[in-house]
Structure 1
Amino acid sequence: MQVADEIQRRIEAGEIGYNDVISEVQLERELEVSRPTIRQAIAHLRDDLKLIETIPGRGSFVREDEPKAPEPRGG
């Protein structure tokens, strides 16, 4: 949970921004924890808190604060 809290703090502080790839390797080095621990924290932030989304083959990213409404079409 401490790792998830630290990642969440970085997101809220803007250190990890919308559309930034969340690097497991970088976090593993910076926080000095194992890759499975990083993945567990990311899963918690994705599945429980909905702060990030994971796109297979691309990685994990910070989600937008609110979904954007479709732009009105001129007519």
Structure 2
Amino acid sequence: MTNFLMRKGFWDYVEGENEDPPELPKENATAVQIKAFKDWNQGARKVMYWLSVSVTDTMIGHIQDAHTPAEAWQNLVQMF
């Protein structure tokens, strides 16, 4: 999975500068901030999907409630 995420350019979602979503102000968010937030969410959903289809059914419970791909990854790392 590490190699797959690195190859796809999504490794930073689990261990890197892209682990957490960008800050989005509650008011007066700029178009750039909104786009960065949407882009991060789209990438995070991809990583969560790839993680969920790569684990066994018995392991899904360990990642399904994670708020970020980094959190899901850490849950898997702790298991092994």
TM-score, normalising length from structure 2? 0.37
TM-score, normalising length from structure 1? 0.39
Higher strand share: 1
> Rg: which structure is higher?
1
Higher helix share: 2
